[in-house]
């Protein structure tokens, strides 16, 4: 089988950095003090389980800290509101900040623009933790807009000063469309495109590969929205696109008559899982591939 693995498959730089920081911290704190992550550090059950085995416990609310022994809390790459840092410190815990530098840049921008008297419009999903974190750094009123309808309905006094920024993982074309609608309303707008390049590069590479291959494998956790997006993009280009979490999920019979296969993976897919699939597809005949999968299933 001829297999091509996307260069951009897997952890983006921000997630890689955050996961490494938790591993480092569990190492440093072992036997001294507990390590907590505020929310799962990554949308991947396997990595979260591995980190838990090494001593990093996930907390889901700051109230939980009241009943836990003092230790270090790691802030994940999505970032959090300023008030979260203050609360954690007030409760007597240390903070390790794994906020992605690209997200941190947005926090700095909204603060700075707020000082300049600009209200903030965040183009993004209001339920996403990154967006909620960004709102927590706004010094002036902020509005989250994610649809054409919301952009059309948005209104403030004419001449009002606004700063528009975007959630890092927002779709660029949609961002442009919404900015165009807002631009026609006569406000004084400062627009900052803060969409992260890592997502666009990964999506474009998936599109390119899927358009050329007989089959495409997209690897990632079922709860990862960026992996789902990669799946949708690939599926559009290549009918034989498969969304798997690990090698075990591959429907091997589907590859019997396939010669060219592309592989990509979401931002939260660990390297060892990608490598396992890549190696299996590259080096094995169909019979060997089948045997390898059965072995993995037998070993649980």
Residue from 123, 131, 198, 216 binding ligand F3S (CB under 6 A): 198
String of contacts with ligand F3S for each residue 71-90, x by CB under 6 A: ------x-------------
CA distances from 189 to 141, 143, 155 (A): 15, 14, 13
Nearer residue to ligand F3S within complex by CB, 43 or 278:
43
User: Cα–Cα distance between 133 and 153 in angstroms, integer?
Assistant: 24
Among 9, 19, 73, 100, binds ligand F3S (CB under 6 A): 100
Ligand-binding site membership of 226 (annotated): yes
Q: Look at the chain and count its residues.
A: 300
What is residue 194's DSSP assignment?
Answer: -
Q: Which of 14, 55, 71, 133 binds ligand F3S (CB under 6 A)?
A: 14
> Which of 199, 224, 234, 245 touches ligand F3S by CB under 6 A?
199
Q: Is 12 in the site for ligand F3S (CB under 6 A)?
A: yes
Query: Per rule CB under 6 A, is residue 196 in the interface with ligand F3S?
Result: yes
- Binding flag, residue 121, ligand F3S (CB under 6 A): no
Contacting residue, 93, 102, 137, 243, with ligand F3S by CB under 6 A: 102
CB 26 within 8 A of CB 51: yes
Question: Using CA atoms, how far apart are residues 22 and 73, in angstroms rounded to an integer?
Answer: 10
Per-residue DSSP letter, 171? -
Sheet holding 35-38, edge to edge: 56-59, 35-38, 72-75, 94-97
Quick one: how far is CA 199 from the chain centroid?
Answer: 9
CA distances from 187 to 28, 156, 161, 173, 179 (A): 51, 8, 6, 21, 12
Is residue 279 within a helix (H) or strand (E), and if so which, with residue range? helix 271-283
3-state helix vs strand vs coil in the chain, percent to 5: 50, 20, 35
100 labelled ligand-binding: yes
Nearer to ligand F3S, 37 or 293 (CB): 37
Active site residue 237: no
CB atoms within 10 A of CB 67: 6
Binding mask 134-173 for ligand F3S (x = CB under 6 A): ----------------------------------xx----
Q: Which is nearer to ligand F3S, 198 or 277 (CB)?
A: 198
What is d(CA 99, CA 80) in angstroms, rounded to the nearest whole number?
A: 8
Interface residue with ligand F3S among 4, 9, 15, 289 (CB under 6 A) is: 15
Number of residues that bind ligand F3S (CB under 6 A): 14
Given a contact cutoff of 8 angstroms between Cβ atoms, the answer to whether 185 and 155 are in contact is: yes
Is 238 marked within a binding site?
Answer: no
Q: How far apart are CA 27 and CA 271, in angstroms?
A: 20
Q: Which stretch binds ligand F3S (CB under 6 A): 8-16, 41-49, 56-64, 113-121?
A: 8-16
Selected catalytic residue, list 130, 160, 177, 256: 130
Binding residues, as ranges, are 12, 43, 78, 100, 128, 168, 196, 224-226, 268
Q: Which residues bind ligand F3S (CB under 6 A)?
A: 12-15, 77, 100, 102-103, 168-169, 196, 198-199, 267
Catalytic positions are 130
């Amino acid at each position: 089988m001829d297999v091509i693995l996307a260069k951009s498959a897997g952890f983006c730089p921000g997630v890689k950095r955050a996961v490494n920081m938790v591993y480092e911290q569990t190492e440093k704190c072992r036997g001294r003090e507990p390590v907590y992550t505020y929310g799962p550090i990554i949308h991947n059950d396997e990595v979260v389980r591995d980190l838990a085995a090494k001593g990093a416990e996930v907390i889901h609310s700051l109230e939980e800290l009241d009943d836990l022994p003092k230790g270090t809390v790691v802030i994940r790459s999505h970032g959090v509101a300023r008030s979260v840092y203050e609360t954690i410190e007030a409760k007597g815990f240390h903070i390790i900040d794994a906020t992605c530098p690209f997200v941190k840049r947005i926090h700095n921008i909204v603060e700075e623009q707020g000082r300049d008297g600009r209200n903030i419009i965040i183009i993004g999903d209001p339920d996403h933790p990154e967006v909620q974190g960004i709102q927590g750094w706004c010094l002036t009123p902020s509005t989250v807009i994610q649809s054409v309808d919301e952009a059309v309905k948005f209104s403030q006094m004419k001449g009002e000063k606004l700063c528009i920024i975007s959630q890092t993982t927002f779709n660029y074309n949609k961002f442009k469309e919404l900015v165009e609608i807002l631009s026609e309303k006569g406000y004084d707008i400062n627009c900052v495109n803060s969409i992260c390049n890592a997502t666009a590069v990964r999506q474009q590479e998936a599109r390119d590969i899927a358009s050329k291959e007989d089959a495409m494998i997209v690897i990632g956790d079922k709860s990862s929205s960026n992996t789902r997006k990669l799946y949708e993009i690939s599926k559009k280009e290549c009918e034989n696109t498969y969304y798997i979490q690990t090698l075990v999920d591959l429907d091997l019979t589907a590859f019997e008559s396939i010669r060219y296969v592309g592989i990509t993976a979401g931002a939260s897919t660990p390297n060892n899982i990608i490598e396992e699939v890549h190696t299996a597809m590259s080096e094995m005949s169909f019979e060997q591939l089948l045997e390898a999968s059965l072995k993995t299933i037998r070993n649980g």
